[in-house]
Amino acid sequence: MSNSTVMPSISVINAIAPLRSQIRQWRQAGESIAFVPTMGNLHDGHLRLIDVARSKADRVIASIFVNPMQFGKNEDLASYPRTLDEDIAGLVAHHTDALFTPTPELMYPRGLDAQTYVEVPLLGDLHCGASRAGHFRGVSTIVCKLFNLVQPDIACFGQKDYQQLAIIRQMVTDLSLPIEIIGVATERAADGLALSSRNGYLTATERAQAPALYQILQQVKHAVAAGNHDYRALEQQAKQQLLAAGMLPDYVNISHQQSLALASSATEPKVVLAAAKLGSTRLIDNLEL
């Protein structure tokens, strides 16, 4: 009798025809499909998305694509970490059925300048969209294209990218895409720092400073819970605290959860969103209030 263990496997697909063939086979078998799009360099937050997807559908497919359309000039497209072998090992360990790994040439065969794009107005102009022109156009375009290729029943996204999640939900609603979007709570390190592929850019000193972002957002949350509704003053105070912690704040905004417009009402559900530079690394985080 053999004592060997059968290891799970994953189908790695890098072209459209075999991807559609695989999706067709699952559909013909009556299986539901959950999708987790990523840019790779997977951490526990990504793998949590895989686990949630696994709990919601018969089949789970992930994608890894460092999308050039969502990077601006002088951003980290060339240096963005690419760790495919380690990513595949993590996906296998979490029982992912397939991984789609397209190239920019496959996704944008006519080049970025000639590519049809999808843009979500208003939501995409706020917060990160105000300082990263074209970023969310790149996000919504690639996610829409991936949705058309994979045609999932469910797609899972992390709540760390709160604005991105809101934009994708709006796009799905506006374009009548038959996909359920599931937001998954932010995974954090023991000291509270939101997990991010870009955390690897932090020096040891910066990594020790970085949890201050989450701590400052917690202070905002506690102040609002205690009845402080002077949201603009709280935002300015938080920016000063970020500066004192060695960070360069991009924004701290207390906003409505649905519209992401700056909050003024004490009764509507709110979220505090923040972005700040620490050294060369841009950190984002949020807390629902």
- Beta strands 180-184 and 281-288 are unpaired
Phi-psi category of residue 173: left, alpha or beta, with phi > 0 → left and psi -120 to 50 → alpha: alpha
C-alpha dist (Å) from residue 271 to 22, 121, 268, 286: 40, 20, 10, 7
Answer yes or no: 46 catalytic. Answer: yes
CA dihedral (173, 179, 180, 182) positive or negative: negative
Q: Do residues 74 and 31 lie in contact, with contact meaning Cβ atoms separated by under 8 Å? A: no
Residue 169, C-beta contacts closer than 8 angstroms, at least 6 positions apart: 181
Give the side-chain half-sphere CA count within 13 A for 3. 0
Please name the helix (run of DSSP H) or strand (run of DSSP E) that holds residue 265, with its range, or none. none
Q: Which residue is catalytic, options 46, 94, 127, 135?
A: 46
Q: Which residues are catalytic?
A: 46
